[in-house]
Structure 1
């Protein structure tokens, strides 16, 4: 049988033949395939061959290590790049393209996106125009003002209140629907007037970035930074998805290779990655105060890398390898962007709107029984330690339901001018570092186990309140005013 593989260089080809000679047992696949996978240190094949070959496996392992010593990169990477070069050569001989100039431009832009000197400024531009200006200024400013003030406060809320008061003569039942925390005046208003325009603009921006082919390039750009926190570029995928929904992103951590990576990624998602609704609301709240916005971003990103670095040092395990084939860059298609945006909004509201309504009902029941007031009183010392007004206790309570529900409540407080810029920054940072929601806790329990989830949750709450407390202390000691 011919065991020659054209795209392997001479040392690799020699090692391949020597490994094939060492394989004496019978296998379901060819010995050439097994030898190639052994050179790439495939864990499943290594286990299989070790079991079948016994002591002969030691010689195979020595051959692989000796061959690897002759290269500066892992053999898996070297073989993949050699294979890719061979494929590119075949394609260039077989396929012609009339748009060479556009291809050159695309390749040039792609190189700019993955090179650190130009890649990070491009990320900054995307964040500024895609998130800060489009989501933070237009979505949460212009759209929220119009929908909440013009539509809800001037038309829908007065009409609903009048209708409920006319149909239901009992004040207790009226409060369930149109009271301070009523289903319509709070739950539906939060979902439709505050969350919808922000989530909608965020999903439009995210869908455009996704459809352009930029995300794989972002993964390559961040690979080196992520290696310092025990992850690699592959982890960019769940992290970016976490900006849409942390629950879904936690499930996507299954694509990571090792348990160590999955634990680190799950912790960082729960601690420092805000979901789309919360991110939009925070941008809306802080965009008028750039100093508070930069502080929020610096603290959250800083804790992301600090906790990731420390966790990677504490958890034993090997450093994961990463390489990725890049899809072509293209202009986003309007139909694709709209289809993705609408499906995500539909999915989000199927999950969120019922929870907002349930939260309103629970608060109403808590007020009726006195439990709500009792919990608020318990939270006031905690709120005071953060330097927040007593009214913010309800925001902390909202945050236990969902981080975005708490952020929406924070949006309400700010619109009533009840928070200083310092208090706004502290509240935004504390809420961002909360455990995202009950659904996130449940999926963490399913993916990582109850014990790990409880330890993570306790750590996250301690970090959230500890960070808020230290910020307030620092502001007071140094006389900082944002």
Structure 2
């Protein structure tokens, strides 16, 4: 249909709008996100979320947060961009900084963790180890950050509503509103990411960046074919996870490599949409400082994990 090869690459082929943009956003990502928002709406309408906030208040106090932060953190498992916006409801700037940092570092969005859980579910030990890693990094980095940023957690008081049976109509409306927001916001980003990747391939910039990431992939014990996945992850976290899914379907990774790639992608840079929201909420300096730490930290954790697995002779 399209005689000009670059135009064919833009529309279809490996990095086209249809292949990477629309297919990833609708066929792979959308069902997972819809399931999360449905469950979140169910918890919200039942009145359970305030109870969860009170139960976790003491734990969150140890990492510089309060029970009020539970809502954006839980929401981050659906969409980190939306959760970053919700942090404006937190009382102190210190609490907002810590929450945004932890959302950027250790909270995977619904599409990302859904894909990773699906991939690692074939290896239950690796799945459990991945979850333990995330919890340990979330609590450990939260504790360290709370010691670096001066101040104390804000007081937390909340009126507990009675538990009630969720209303089907309320759940559907809340899920629909969130899904409509997600679809309108995210699908254009997927398409733009496809255009950026196409432009990078057309100009050769994409190949240069991939070659720069290949030594890092090899240092992590991953095949060099994994390098594009990390580049995808910069445009969208779930974009990278979807790329990981495709590579696993092709049988490129063994168990250990899949585990390491899952950890690095989970801890990787926030997606472009979240970076934009971070910039809007906290400014350029804070955004640059956070991303400057997260980028090398993710690869360092992956490198240490690979080293530990090889030293101990552990395989998944």
Q: Do structure 1's residue 312 and structure 2's residue 160 form an aligned pair?
A: no
User: Is residue 2:167 matched to residue 1:333?
Assistant: yes
Q: How much has 1:211 moved relative to structure 2?
A: 1.4
Kept in 2, the 8 Å contact 1:202–1:280? The answer is no
Q: Which residues of 2 match residues 30-69 of structure 1 at below 5 A?
A: none
Quote how far apart the aligned CAs of 1:231 are.
Answer: 1.1
Alignment counterpart, residue 424 of structure 1, candidates 258, 282, 296: 258
* 1:255 Cα deviation after fit: 2.2
Does 2:228 match 1:403? no
Is the aligned partner of 1:206 residue 2:37? no
Q: Distance in 2 between matches of 1:401 and 1:316?
A: 33
Displacement after TM superposition at 1:277 (Å):
1.7
1:447-458 alignment, distance < 5 Å: 447-458=281-292
Q: Displacement of 1:198 after TM fit?
A: 1.2
1:82-109 CA-partner distances (Å, limit 9, x unpaired): xxxxxxxxxxxxxxxxxxxxxxxxxxxx
TM-score by length of 1: 0.64
Aligned residue pair count: 316
Q: How far apart, in 1, do the equivalents of 2:284 and 2:197 lie? A: 28
* Partner Cα distance (2:100, 2:10) in 1: 37
Structure 1 residue aligned with 2:219: 385
Q: Is the 8 A contact 1:253 1:265 kept in 2?
A: yes
Q: Which of structures 1 and 2 has the bigger CA Rg?
A: 1
Alignment of 1:151-300 (within 5 A): 167-300=1-134
How far did 1:225 drift?
0.5
Mean CA deviation greater in 367-376 or 306-315: 367-376
Q: Does 1:373 align with 2:194?
A: no
CA distance in structure 1 between the partners assigned to 2:205 and 2:8 by the alignment: 19
Q: CA deviation at 1:334?
A: 1.4
- How has the CA–CA distance of structure 1 residues 319 and 348 changed in structure 2, closer, same or farther, with 3 Å as cutoff? closer
Normalising by structure 2, we get a TM-score of 0.96
Separation in 2 of the partners of 1:168 and 1:234?
Answer: 53
Q: In 2, distance between residues paired with 1:230 and 1:362? A: 38
Structure 1 stretches of at least 4 aligned residues deviating more than 4 Å after TM superposition: none
Contact 2:190 2:236 in 1 (8 A): no
For residues 99 and 202 of structure 2, what CA distance do their matches in structure 1 show? 41
C-alpha deviation, 1:363, in angstroms:
1.8
Deviation at 1:230, TM superposition (A): 1.1
With a CA cutoff of 8 Å and minimum separation of 6, indicate the structure with the bigger relative contact order. Answer: 2
CA displacement 1:174-213 (0-9 Å, x = unmatched):
2221211121122211111111211122222222122111
Assess if the C-alpha contact under 8 Å between 1:281 and 1:408 holds in 2: yes
Deviation per CA, 1:441-478, whole angstroms, max 9, x where unpaired? 22222222222221111111122111111111111111
- Secondary structure of the structure 2 residue equivalent to 1:350: helix
User: 1:366, 1:448 → 2: CA distance?
Assistant: 30
Deviation at 1:345, TM superposition (A): 1.6
What's the CA shift string for 1:145-172, capped at 9, x where partnerless? xxxxxxxxxxxxxxxxxxxxxx222333
Aligned twin of 1:462:
296
Are the counterparts in 2 of residues 181 and 364 from structure 1 also a CA contact under 8 Å?
yes
